[in-house]
Amino acid sequence: MPGIDECLLEAMTVNGARGAALIEWTSGLALGMAGEVRDEDPEATAAETAELARMAAEQRAFAALGPGGGKSGANDGTDNGGDDGTDGGGNGDGRDREPAVEDVIITTRTCYHLLRFVDTAFDSGVFFYLWLDRREGNLALARLRLRDLCRGLALL
């Protein structure tokens, strides 16, 4: 399994990639960065992007809907609608192992910004950020490549 640096370098091979980062969203700390930085301040870029990821991940409006909204996908007839201390997308112990949101996509006139939440073996909020030039990048293909990179990422 590739580590952080290998995944960042692989992300930079996506058509139109201008920058990539792996960021811990609760602290705003960049675990690794590659390519360009939007405003010449890597710490500020990581913190601002983490704030956006945290907002999306913590909003109930974006929670998974219906039975199987959690990881198992099984409809066992139980109602996990939040009465047990979860938001319906959790693991039943009152805290979620991962956010219900998979991706956050922001488009501007010149760029695409993709944030992909990474599943980890430990209780952490980590996401992969990919910044693409809109003229050169393909949003759908970049999203698929980012999903595959996050699945193979080895965080120790």
pLDDT tens digits for range 104-119: 999 999 999 999 998 8
Looking at 2-6, 94-98, 108-112, 147-151, which range is the least confident one?
94-98
pTM: 0.75
Which backbone phi and psi does 46 adopt, to 5 degrees?
-65, -45
Quote the pLDDT of residue 90: 43
155, pLDDT greater than 70 = no
How many CA atoms does the CB half-sphere of 39 hold within 13 Å?
8
Confidence of residue 66 (pLDDT cuts 50, 70, 90): low
Looking at residue 123, its amino acid is D
Helices (H), the chain: 4-11, 42-58, 139-152
